[in-house]
């Protein structure tokens, strides 16, 4: 009789998993501010210019002879990488940041001599550290001057990491409302619309505090439509008063890079941004796409990769640990196992669902692998998959089965990437 270790390895295509992990990494690298801004940003004619495809933004440089300063404000999971990339791009043109203020989720591993202060906020729900960070931000802004120029670097997570309740709203009320919305699986647009109403700095209010200084906003988008009114709850954007703004990286950029890299090894079917509904509905939709992929001819020993992205909505039902990507992977793996009982082709389907930020929910994992043998691995270690799903405990289940995908913090965030590999026999 085989050991539990043997059972855990059953059905796992290690080579394909390594490929999926490498493709995920390629997509992440394509949307990291530390790499993007030096590549697409240049100093010319008294301004800094960002050009990437049809995206363009010009940042006027301050007149230092008149005492003008170039100040940086970074809010969100990608703020540190964006700040470093922005500074590298400026310094290549002989310009430097005078000072800056960053609010991020994770303390940097190495402290370097850089012209900004770093503050750690609470995430995914705002808390006391988020409030302290917001209060310190206002102290940093102080009394804005017309001769100053601010660069605002915005990315996913900013809504929770830097939180200042609106007058008449307490931090406790803001936390309760945020938790309630997240537990029932509210979409990011709805969640951030409420956050704007509860905030003294979101919904364009930070822009008001920066006046009369000039400012430009650069954003890495983790929202479905890349809408400036939604990203980070829009601290510098109002629909009735649009401000200079450029989205420098999106989920499309990550998917495009993955497709280009993966095309060297397999046939890529680009599905694009399509995983934004409830997790149960999206699993069914993906099963239908897998059905169609298996029905199409494929040469022997070849792989067809279904590539998609988004953020499925998960309603939290219990006190377990998990995240949307891990629950999606668990549900799809179990569904594949069910189909494999009557059709062996589904047993060789293998995939990865993972966030580009390296953290899926309040867990250590970016997401998880899945395949048609996942159910067998769970049984081998005594995990009741149905009970795990009922308790929103996908992380515990997938850790036991050896299917978690852990990357650590990536320094960026453009939502989740889903890859499903269909291999012919």
End-to-end CA distance of the chain: 27
Strand partners, 308: 272, 418
pLDDT for res 5: 43
Give the end of a domain, one of 249, 266, 286.
249
Write down the residue that tokens 């170039």 correspond to: 70
Q: Are residues 76 and 180 in the same domain?
A: yes
pLDDT for res 239: 86
Give the end of a domain, one of 226, 249, 272.
249
Phi and psi for 114 in degrees, rounded to 5?
A: -125, 150
pLDDT for res 175: 87
DSSP symbols for 115-135: SSEEEE---SS--HHHHHHHH
Q: Are residues 239 and 283 in the same domain?
A: no
Q: Are residues 133 and 106 in the same domain?
A: yes
Note down pLDDT in tens along the chain; length 425 residues.
Answer: 344 445 456 668 899 999 999 999 999 999 999 999 999 999 998 999 999 999 999 999 999 999 999 999 999 999 999 999 999 999 999 999 999 999 999 888 766 789 999 999 999 899 999 999 999 999 999 999 999 999 999 999 999 999 999 999 999 998 899 888 888 888 888 888 899 899 999 999 999 999 999 999 999 999 999 999 999 999 999 888 889 999 999 999 999 999 999 999 999 999 999 999 999 999 999 999 999 999 998 887 789 999 999 999 999 888 899 999 999 999 999 999 999 999 999 998 999 999 999 999 889 999 999 999 999 999 999 999 999 999 999 999 999 999 999 999 999 999 999 999 998 76
Contact between 83 and 218 under an 8 Å Cβ cutoff? The reply is no
Cα 284-22-248 angle, rounded to 5 deg: 80
pLDDT for res 67: 94
Kindly give, in sequence order, each residue whose CB lies less than 8 Å from that of residue 261, ignoring residues fewer than 6 positions away.
22, 23, 26
Q: Are residues 304 and 222 in the same domain?
A: no
Q: Are residues 54 and 10 in the same domain?
A: no
Residue 307's SS3 state is strand
Contact between 270 and 242 under an 8 Å Cβ cutoff? The reply is no
Q: Are residues 215 and 280 in the same domain?
A: no
Instruction: Give the domain extent around 99.
Output: 32-249
Query: How far apart are alpha carbons 370 and 420 in whole angstroms?
Result: 9
Q: Are residues 416 and 339 in the same domain?
A: yes
pTM: 0.93
pLDDT for res 10: 60
Phi and psi for 160 in degrees, rounded to 5?
A: -85, -35
Residue 411's SS3 state is coil
- Burial degree of 161 (CB within 10 A; 0-12, 13-18, 19+): buried
CATH code: domain of residue 380: 3.40.1480.10
Domain count, the chain: 2
Q: Are residues 207 and 290 in the same domain?
A: no
pLDDT for res 163: 94
Give the end of a domain, one of 188, 221, 249.
249
DSSP symbols for 211-271: TTSEEEEEEE--STT--TTTGGG-TT-BTTB---EEEEE-HHHHHHHHHHHHTTTSEEEEE
pLDDT for res 4: 43
CATH code: domain of residue 89: 3.40.50.10180
Residue 369's SS3 state is strand
- In this structure, the chain runs to a length of 425
Strand partners, 214: 149
Query: How far apart are alpha carbons 413 and 77 in whole angstroms?
Result: 7
**How is residue 245 written in tokens?**
């703004």
Q: Are residues 53 and 158 in the same domain?
A: yes
Q: Are residues 235 and 282 in the same domain?
A: no
pLDDT for res 9: 60
pLDDT for res 8: 57
Q: Are residues 284 and 235 in the same domain?
A: no
Instruction: With CA atoms as reference, report the closest residue to 208 among 128, 156, 147, 150.
Output: 150
Q: Are residues 9 and 49 in the same domain?
A: no
């Amino acid at each position: 009789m085989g050991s539990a270790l043997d059972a855990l390895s059953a059905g796992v295509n290690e080579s394909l998993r390594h490929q999926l992990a490498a493709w995920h990494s390629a997509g992440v690298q394509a949307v990291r501010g530390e790499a993007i801004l030096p590549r697409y940003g240049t100093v010319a004619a008294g301004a800094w210019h960002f050009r990437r495809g049809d995206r363009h933004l010009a940042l006027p440089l301050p007149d230092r002879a008149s005492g003008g300063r170039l100040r940086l404000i970074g809010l969100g999971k990608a703020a540190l990488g964006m700040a470093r990339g922005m500074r590298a791009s400026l310094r290549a043109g002989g310009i430097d940041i005078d000072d800056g203020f960053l609010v991020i989720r994770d303390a940097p591993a190495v402290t370097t001599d850089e012209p900004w202060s770093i503050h750690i906020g609470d995430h995914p729900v705002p808390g006391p550290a988020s409030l302290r960070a917001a209060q310190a931000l206002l102290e940093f802004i102080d009394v804005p001057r017309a001769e100053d120029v601010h660069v605002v670097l915005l990315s996913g997570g900013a809504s929770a990491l830097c939180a200042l309740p609106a007058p008449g709203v307490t931090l406790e009320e803001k936390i309760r409302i945020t938790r309630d919305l997240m537990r029932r699986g509210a979409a990011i647009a709805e969640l951030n619309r409420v956050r704007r109403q509860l905030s003294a700095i979101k919904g364009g209010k930070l822009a008001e505090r920066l006046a009369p200084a000039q400012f430009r906003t650069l954003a890495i988008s983790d929202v479905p439509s890349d809408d400036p009114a939604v990203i980070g709850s829009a601290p510098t954007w109002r629909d009735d008063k649009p401000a200079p703004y450029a989205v420098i990286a999106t989920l499309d950029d990550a998917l495009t890079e993955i497709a280009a890299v993966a095309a060297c090894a397999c046939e890529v079917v680009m599905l694009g941004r399509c995983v934004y509904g409830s997790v149960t509905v999206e699993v069914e939709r993906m099963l239908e796409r897998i059905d169609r992929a298996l029905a199409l001819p494929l040469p022997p020993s070849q792989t067809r990769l279904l590539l998609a992205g988004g953020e499925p909505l998960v309603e939290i039902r219990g006190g377990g640990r998990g995240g949307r990507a891990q629950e999606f992977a668990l549900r799809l793996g179990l569904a594949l196992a069910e189909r494999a009982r009557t059709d062996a082709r589904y047993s060789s389907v293998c995939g990865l669902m993972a966030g580009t930020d390296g953290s899926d929910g309040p867990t250590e994992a970016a997401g998880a692998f899945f395949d048609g043998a996942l159910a067998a691995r769970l049984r081998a270690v005594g995990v009741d998959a149905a009970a795990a799903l009922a308790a929103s405990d996908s992380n515990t289940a997938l850790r036991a089965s050896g299917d978690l995908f852990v990357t650590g913090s990536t320094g960026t965030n453009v939502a989740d990437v889903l890859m499903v590999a269909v291999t012919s026999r």
